[in-house]
Amino acid sequence: MAEDQAHDYPTIEPTSFDVVICGTGLPESVLAAACAAAGKTVLHIDPNPFYGSLYSSVPLPSLPSFLSPDPSSVPLVPSGDDSHTVVDLHRRNIYSEVEIWGAAPEPRRFTVDMVGPRVLYCRDEAVDLLLRSGGSHHVEFKSVDGGSSLLYWEGQLYPVPDSRQAIFKNTTLNRTEKTFLFKLFKLVMAHIAAADEDGEGEASDKISNEDLDLPFIEYLKKHELPPKMIAGVVYAIAMADYDQNTDCCEKLLTTREGIKTIALYSSSTGRFANAPGAFIYPMYGHGELPQAFCRCAAVKGALYVLRMPVSALLMDEERKTCLGARLTSGQDILCQQLILDPSYKVPILDAPSDGSDSNLLRKVARGICIISKSVKQDSSILLIVFPPKSLEEQQTAAIRVLQLSSNLAVCPPGMFMVYLSTPCADTSTGKQSIKKAIDALFAPQASDSLEGHLEETSKNNEDLKPAVIWSCVYVQEIMEGTASSFLSCPTPDELLDYRSILDSSKKVLHCMLHFLLNVPASKVLPQEIFSCR
C-alpha cells in the first residue's frame, strides 16, 4: 500500500512558495486562509487522505488507527540534491493510554470528533472569523439548546440557570438562593453594560477594580451564594478547569476573567435568530471547520495536496534558517516560511525538551461514549459539568461532558455520542477521573441477557441510567504553538471552545507576517480575516 502510494505522489509545480503549511488542523487552515487572503502563495499539504489533522472528525472504524498509528508509515526517502542541510523529521503520537470497549452497531454511521467535547460560543471569535472569511458558507451549525447546562453535585444532576427566566423555571433552587443568584446576575450584567462603551450602562454600575482582581470564587462567596451555586457559576458558566478552592491553584480565575466568559456567554444567547442557546455545534462534527477554512484558502489560490507527508526540513548551513521542506515524494519545496502541525518532531531542534520531562507537559484525558438513551429526558444535546472533587477527593479538575444527538448528523437516530474531557498532570489520574464520570453517568455496559433483572426494575425504568454501548478513553498531550526557524501550531487544548487556540494561531500569524515583510504585523493584517482585537 505504502509502496503504491509513494508512486502516486504528484509532482508539485511551482517548487517555491511564500508559505508552506503542513497539516490541515484548524490553526493551520486558518493561517492558510489568512496568508492566501493576504496575497501570499501558499502550499498546504497533509499526510492524511482527509482534512483536519488533529482537529478532524473520523469515522468510528478509523479511530483506533488514528489514535495509535503504525509508526513505520513515514517512509525514509533517499536524500537527493544536498545543497541544503537536511534535518529529518519524525512524527510523534500525542495520544496515549488508549482503551476501547464494546462494539457499536453500524459503526460507519458514527463520526468521532478528536477535539471533543467542544462547542462554539455564538459570539465566539471563531464564529466571527467564519463569517468574515466566508467560511460560514461551507459549514452549517445547530444550536446546543438543551436548556441550561447540568451540574453534577452530591450524586445528582442539577440544571445551572443561566438567565432570569431559567432561574424562574428552576425547581431545585429555593427562593432565597434565587434572589442571591439573580442579584449577582444583575450586578454582572450591569457591569458588562457599563464596561461596554457603546452600551447604555452607567459607570457607577461597574464592579470595583478590587473586586475584579479578587479570585472569582471569593467574589461569589461575598455574595452569599451557597457552594452548589458557586460551583455552577464557576465551573459550568465561567468554565474554570482547576479546583478554585485550594490556595495553590494553578489557574485561579479572577473575577475579571470569570465575568469576561459570562459576558461572552450572555452576548452569545440570542445572537442568531435560529440559535436560542449560547452554544452552537457544527453539523457532521468539528472536522468541518478546518475544511471550511481550507476552502477559503483554496478560493484565494492556495494549492492543496493531501496524502503528502514532509520527511525533512531544508536548513541553511548553520541550521538557523529554514529554507524549505523535503516531501515524502522526494521533491524539495523552497519557501520563506514553513508551518508545521504539532505532530511533527524535529529531533535536533527540540532535543532538550524531548521525553525527559514529558510529565511537565499539559495533558487532557478524553472519553467518548455511545449510548442509546439521553442522560436527561426531553433534551438531546446536553452539557454536563463535574466540578473538582465532586466524584472523589483526588479529582483536581473539572470534567466537562457534551452529549450530542443524531440531529447533528454525527450518529444514527436513537443514538447519542458523549464526549468527556478533563485536564490532568499525569495520565493515570486523568483517565481515572474520566472513568469515574462515565460510571457516575451511565450504567455499566449492559449485557442484554439480563432481561429478568430489567423487568424487576422496570417500574423505575425512567430513572435508569443509560447503558454504555461503546466507549473509548485516552490521553492527549497539549502543545502550544512555537516560533523558531519554522512555526509550529498548537494542538487541541483542554478547553470547551476555540478561543485559546485562535489566540495562539494569531500569535503565529503575527510572527510570520512580521518575518515575511519586516513590518509591524498590525499594519499588514488582512482585515477581512483577523480584524478583531
Partner 1 sequence: MHGRPRRAAKPEDEEASSAKAAKLRDLQAQVLQNQHSGTYTKEAIGLSFKLLEINPEAYTAWNYRKLAFQHNIKELSEPEAIKSAIDDELRVVEVALRQNPKSYGAWYHRKWLLNQKLAPVDSKREFGLLDKLLKVDARNFHGWNYRRFLARFMGVPDEEELNYTMDKISDNFSNYSAWHNRSILLSNLLIKQNKGFESKQKIFSQEFELVTQALFIGPSDQSGWFYHLWLLAQTSTPDNPQLIASWPCSGAKLSSSLVKEKVEQNTLSSIWCHSLQERTVPMVLYFNEPVKGLNQSSVKLKSDLDFGKDIHWRALSMTDSGYSSCWTTYLQIANECSSSQQYSVEVSIPCSDDIVSRSGSNYNCPVHFTFTIELISDDAQDIDLFDKPVAYFSEPLESHGNCEPIPFDLLKITGALVEEDSNWHFERLSEEIDLFRELPDDNCKFVKLTLARLLLACAAIKSCGRSPHERKRYCEEALGHFSDLIRLDPSHKQYYEDERSLVLMDKLTCDMETFVKHCSVQVQPNSIPLNHVQLCKLSLTHVGFAERLMWVQVLDLSHNSLRSIEGLEALQQLVSLNISNNHISSFTALEPLTKIMFLKVLDLSSNEIGAHSMDTTRYICSSPFSHKIEAHEAFEECQKKNINVEEYWDAILFFKPLKLGQLDIKGNAVASKENFRTLVMTLIPSLKWLNGECVN
Interface with partner 1 includes 190 (CB under 8 A)?
no
Contact indicator for 385, 152 with CB cutoff of 8 Å:
yes
Question: In three state form, how does the secondary structure of 392-405 look?
Answer: CCCCCECEEEEEEE
Q: Which stretch binds partner 1 (CB under 8 A): 12-20, 164-172, 248-256, 348-356?
A: 164-172
Q: Does 272 bind partner 1 (CB under 8 A)?
A: no
Q: Does 169 bind partner 1 (CB under 8 A)?
A: yes
Measured from the CB atom, the residue of 183 and 453 that comes closer to partner 1 is 183
Q: For partner 1, which is the closer residue by CB, 183 or 222?
A: 183
φ, ψ dihedrals at 384, nearest 5°: -125, 140
Is residue 168 involved in binding partner 1 (CB under 8 A)? Answer: yes
CB of 307 vs partner 1, minimal distance in Å: 53
Stretch that binds partner 1, among 3-11, 142-150, 168-176, 343-351 (CB under 8 A): 168-176
Q: Which residues contact 428 (CB under 8 A, 6 or more apart)?
A: none
Instruction: By CB under 8 A, name the one of 15, 176, 246, 522 that touches partner 1.
Output: 176
Q: Which of 167, 249, 298, 305 binds partner 1 (CB under 8 A)?
A: 167
- Distance in Å, CB of 203 to partner 1, minimum: 19
CA angle 326, 115, 135 (to 5 degrees): 75
CB of 177 to partner 1, least distance (A): 9
Identify any residues that bridge with 304 across adjacent strands, giving them in sequence order: 44
Name 263's Cβ contacts closer than 8 Å, sequence gap at least 6: 188, 192, 195
Q: Which residue stretch of 174-182, 208-216, 440-448, 499-507 sits at the interface with partner 1 (rule: CB under 8 A)?
A: 174-182
Q: Which is nearer to partner 1, 196 or 224 (CB)?
A: 224
Residue 178, interface with partner 1 (CB under 8 A)?
A: yes
Among 182, 272, 284, 304, binds partner 1 (CB under 8 A): 182
Phi, psi of 38 (to 5 degrees): -85, 0
Please say which residue, 165 or 447, places its beta carbon nearer to partner 1: 165
Number of residues that bind partner 1 (CB under 8 A): 13
Q: What distance in Å separates the CA atoms of residue 417 and residue 429, rounded to the nearest whole number?
A: 23
Smallest gap from Cβ 223 to partner 1, in A, equals 10
Per the document, the length of the chain is 533
The single-letter DSSP state of residue 39 is: T
Residues 221-240 that bind partner 1 (CB under 8 A): 224
**Cell numbers describing residue 115:** 477535539
Torsion angle of C-alpha atoms 507, 511, 512, 514, degrees rounded to 10 = 130
CA distance linking residue 153 with residue 288, whole number of Å: 34
The stretch among 36-44, 105-113, 172-180, 435-443 that binds partner 1 (CB under 8 A) is 172-180
CA distance linking residue 214 with residue 217, whole number of Å: 8
Q: Looking at 68-76, 165-173, 380-388, 513-521, which segment touches partner 1 (CB under 8 A)?
A: 165-173
Residue from 15, 16, 65, 179 that binds partner 1 (CB under 8 A)? 179
Binding flag, residue 453, partner 1 (CB under 8 A): no
| Amino acid type, 165 | Q
251 binds partner 1 (CB under 8 A): no
236 in Cβ contact with 390 (< 8 Å): no
- Using CB under 8 A as the binding rule, whether residue 11 contacts partner 1 is answered as no
Q: Closest separation between CB of residue 180 and partner 1, Å?
A: 6
Give the chain's radius of gyration (CA, Å).
Answer: 24
Dihedral Cα 55, 57, 60, 61, nearest 10 deg: -80
Smallest distance, partner 1 to C-beta of residue 239, A: 24
Q: Residue with C-alpha cell 452569599?
A: 224
Cell of residue 467, nine digits: 447503558
Cell reading at 208: 470595583
Residues 82-111 that bind partner 1 (CB under 8 A): none
Rule CB under 8 A: say whether 180 interacts with partner 1. yes
Report whether the peptide linkage leading into residue 14 is cis, meaning its omega lies within 30 degrees of zero. yes
Q: Least distance from C-beta 260 to partner 1, angstroms?
A: 24
Which one among 164, 271, 376, 514 touches partner 1, defined by CB under 8 A? 164
What are 25's three cell numbers? 488542523
SS (H, E, C) 515-527: HHHCCCHHHHCCC
Cell numbers found for residue 11: 509532482
Nearer to partner 1, 109 or 178 (CB): 178
Nearest distance from C-beta of residue 181 to partner 1, angstroms? 8
The beta strand positions in 328-373, using DSSP E, are 332-340, 344-345, 362-371
Stretch near partner 1 under the rule CB under 8 A, chosen from 176-184, 269-277, 329-337, 436-444: 176-184
Binding site for partner 1 (CB under 8 A): 164-165, 167-169, 175-176, 178-180, 182-183, 224
